[in-house]
Each structure stands twice: as C-alpha cells, then as structure tokens.
Chains A and B, each alone.
Chain A
C-alpha cells in the first residue's frame, strides 16, 4: 500500500468514527432530546439586542417585535447601540421610544462593548442576547428558563434556523444550521458545547458579570464566554424547543468573512484556553470535543489539498496533452472520455456509507428541527449542501489561515 492509500484509509476511519458517534449518541439519548425542564420560577429576563450602523431598519424592527411578542411575560428589552452613529441610530431611538424600551449607546465599536454596557443596566436575573438580524419564535424564552434552576448551568443556547433561504449560499447554510441543531443538542447532552451563539442564547446575569463581562477584544465573544463559563466549572445546555430564525449571509464574500471571524476566533480561544485541552477536569469538552475539532481542521485541510492537487494534475496533464497532440480535439476528447469511465475502487464502499450516514443525519436533524422530513421538499438545498459544503469549509479554512498570518497588517475596522 502506498502513502496515498494509507492516508485515505486513515481519513475514512476518522470520518466514519465521527459520523457514527453522533448517530449512536442520538439513538442512545433519543428520549432526552426534546424535553426541557419545566420552570417553577419565572425570573425577569433582560433581552439585549446589540445594534450598529450596518444593521437594516427592517430587520431591527422585526427583531424588536419578535422579542416583544414572545409569550414570556417577565421581560425587559434593551437596545444596545455600539459604534459611530448614523441614521440607523436615529431609527433605533424612535423605535425605543415608541415601544418604551431602553437604549444604551457607546461610540466604541464592538458587539461585546455594546452588550457590556447594556448588561450594566440590565435588571434581569437572566439575560438573553438577540442579534438584530434574528427573530424569536413566540415561545422561545419559556423553554430556556427552566434550565437555570440547576445552579450549575451558566448558559442555554437556542436552536437556530436560517430565515428565508433564497439563494444557493443561504440554502447551503439552511442545511448547515439544521445539521448544527442536531449537533448542538447532542453536544449539550455530553457537555461539549463551546459556543453560545449570538442569536437567542440565555445567560445567568450575575455569573457573566462576576466572570468579568464579555471579552471586548475577542473576535468571537460568544465562543470566549462559553469557554470561560465552562472553565469556571459551569455547564452550557441547549434547548431544542427554543427556536430562533436568523438571516444568513447572502453574498459569498460576506459568508467567507463571517467564517474567517468564527474560525479565527476558534483558534484564538483555543490558544487562550489551551489548559482546557486534554484536561480531565473539563470532561468530554477538553478530552473529546476540542481534540476532535482540531483533528477535523487537519482533515479538512488535507482533503482540500488532496482535491486541489488531483484537479491541478489532471488539468495540467490535459493541457499538456492538448499541446503535444497539436490541439487535435478528436484525440483529446477521446482521452477525456476514457478518464471519465467509472474506475471502481474500495472508496466507493466508504463513499456510499458516508453519504448514507450524511442523509440519515440530515433526516434526524430535520426531525429535531420540526421541518418536513421529506427530502423531495427543499431538495435543491440538500444537493447544494452535499456537493459544495465540504469544499466550502476547506476554502473558509484557507482564508482563515491567510487572515491569521496577515492580520497584524490588516486594519480591524476596515476588514470586518
């Protein structure tokens, strides 16, 4: 066996292991999936909506009304403005006045800066962050509150779905988010969550204050706080029934920039909390999930490099052929047709198994997200996802490494 075959077998074993693990965990924990603890107390919840100049007025208005329309009664709403003011700020001011909600403001840029300022005036025992491009389902809060009756719980995440997936990039993200709902719930059951996403997550107010508020210099403050909460010995749970819709990036470059931020944030936080890695005190998070995520990154990069190498070799060989045969198209086409014939290898078996598990996971994710499980419904989403997503992830990581290597020369405000 040559190096190619051995590395491919290693890759296959790892991918099989990961996908089978999540399916077995689902089967084992099926009964625990959908139930949320029924609250005995209903404490005040501060809903903080961070707003800044690039948010659209339409989305802010929809976001605010979704928060006001939630059926949970004991709540207060705070609009947290951050950054230089423009007409969006004036709109927020009017909106706050009209709906009798508070508005905090700071000229400093950063979601964490705005959140921290709002936190200082928040009266709720619990608080919820809701990005301005996200909207609560009406009963979202009730499902999360009950978890906090356990003193060890520091934060609860919601189940995020993509709002109106219109173009191909949003359709891919729609499936990705369904997949994430599945993974997030299962990860929460084994205490492995390392992100408390911006749209619709709930925290214990005193805990976040005591831990020193959100890190204002972190690319992904929602990931940093997740690490910090767990480093302090608290747990993070997920409420499957607490749904939040969020607007996913429509343009590829915006999506790439979002992922550069997420992935670079992951690298930064991993560095910051490296003492949690392989530390038995951190349980499955440090012993399993974080090492697994690091290996995943290596696998994604290796697979992409392999794919690019294969593609480049094939293009180079074809161009060379075309040149050597004096651009004789008949001969060239017959060679191409010959290479396109099916050349069965043992990889077919693994490709079938992995695609099967992939479809099963999408099905389980749809079931958990209460979406229509018939694959014919929204089939373009699945096809786009299965064909493009893995390549896209590799591209995100390449850009992320590019960013990490050059970020000292980039101006933060201009880039984001």
Chain B
C-alpha cells in the first residue's frame, strides 16, 4: 500500500509540474504573439500618422510610399493571423488568455483593414479587399470557404487582402460590422464593400474577383 501512496505522490508532482509547464508555455506563446501584435500596431499607427500628415498639411500624397507601408502592414497582419490560428488549433490549458489575445488581434486587424481602405481610396489602388465573416459554432461551410480564400490569397499575394472575422467574438466593433453588413448567416463575404451571403465555390470567387479587378493574374 505504501508503494501506491508514494506513486500517487510522485505522479501528482510530475503531473503538476506538467500543468505548470503548460501554463508557462501558454503565457510564453501569448506573450510572443502580444509582442508581435505591438509591433504591428506600431506600424499601423505610423501609417495612420502619415495619412494624417498628408490630410492636415495638404501635401500631395506619395502613393508609392503609402503602398509600400500597406504591403508591409498586410504581410505582418497575415503572419500574425497564421500564428494566432496555429495557437488556436493547439491543445492549451488557459483558454481565457487566448480569447483575450484573439480579441486584441481582431481589433488590430480591423484597424489595419480601415487603414488599407483609406490608402485604397486616396491612391485609387486596384487591390481587392475581403471582409470574411465566419463562425466556428454556426457554420458548416466556413472551413471550405476559408480554404478557397486562402488559396486565392496565396495565388494573388498582395493584390488580395483578406480579413477573417470570428463572428463568435463578443466585440462591439464586430457586432457593429455584422449589423452594417447584415450578417445573419454564415459565411458572409464583403468584397470591395459588396455583400455576398452564403458559401461561394472556387469558380464563383474567381468570377467575383475578376469582376472587381480584371487585371488580376487569375483572370
């Protein structure tokens, strides 16, 4: 019997160290993603300042400069998005800190989207932006829709910018966007401000993208 008690003690000790390790690992990963997010926010702030500068000072806008900023911000947002998704799909002990992180990420992403839309309007740029509303709880086709969008994103690189919004998040801005774009079922795509409700297959997405910008290399 004493061996059983000793075993229970040793097992519990190793088990608890594993849990502590898991929590530490979670904090580290969230911390690293947080640091990347701060860098992204800095870039967005810098881009916003530049736009303000052109607005307030009435100088002629340097679109080449802004376009380069836009490119950098988009790739930083995408890279961070991939890391957040990877962490979302892994086994973790602390779900709460992940949801906080995801909310912060969504806010940064939307800020990045508004910035890009602003640049697009001012410079008359021809890249296509997509707001993609999905739900992990109430959508059967969102996985497929996500795969198709990622496929075109990789094909078109910086000429197609996708902003995926987890509609299950209870964020004021997300709720507002859902109201504005009349999101009631999923998936919903807002491509260059045009609303498309329901699943769109590979061919349909290609058709819409080419209608928006016939110069894209897939058209």
Binding site for B on A (CB under 8 A): 1-2, 4-5, 8-9, 12-13, 16-17, 20-21, 24-25, 28, 190, 288, 317, 320-321, 324-326, 328, 331, 334-335, 338, 341, 343-347, 349-350, 353
Distance in Å from the Cβ of B203 to the closest Cβ of chain A? 9
Q: Interface readout for B148-171 with A: 1 if CB under 8 Å, 0 if not?
A: 101100110000000000000000
B70 to chain A, nearest CB (A): 24
| A2 partner residues in chain B, CB cutoff 8 A | 95
Contacts A20-B7, A345-B92, A350-B18 aside, 17 further interface pairs with beta carbons under 8 A come to A1-B93, A5-B92, A16-B11, A17-B7, A17-B11, A20-B10, A190-B3, A320-B147, A324-B202, A326-B202, A341-B86, A344-B29, A345-B22, A345-B90, A346-B23, A349-B18, A353-B14
Q: A345-B25, A347-B91, A350-B18 are in contact. Are A328 and B10 (CB under 8 A)?
A: no
Q: Does B89 contact A (CB under 8 A)?
A: yes
Question: With A345-B90, A346-B93 in contact, is A17–B18 under 8 Å at CB?
Answer: no
Residues of B within 8 A of A (CB): 3-4, 6-8, 10-11, 14-15, 17-19, 21-23, 25-26, 29, 82, 86-87, 89-93, 95, 143-144, 147-148, 150-151, 154-155, 202
For B7, what are the chain A residues with a Cβ–Cβ distance below 8 Å? 17, 20-21, 24
Question: A5-B93, A20-B11, A325-B202 in contact; A346/B147 too (CB < 8 A)?
Answer: no
Let me know if A321 and B92 touch, CB within 8 A: no
For the complex, give the distance between the alpha carbons of A30 and B29 in Å.
44
Report the bound CA distance from A335 to B143 in whole Å.
14
Q: Give A338 to B89 CA distance when docked, in angstroms.
A: 13
Interface secondary structure of A, over-half rule: helix
Give Cα A406–Cα B23 distance, bound, in whole angstroms. Answer: 47
Contacts A2-B95, A324-B148 given; indicate if A12 touches B18 (C-beta within 8 A). Answer: yes
Task: Give, as a whole number of angstroms, the nearest-CB distance from B31 to chain A.
Answer: 14
Do B3 and A28 have beta carbons less than 8 Å apart? yes
**A9→B11 CA distance, assembly (Å):** 12
Q: What's the nearest-Cβ distance from chain B to residue A83, in Å?
A: 45
B155 and A331: CB pair below 8 A? yes
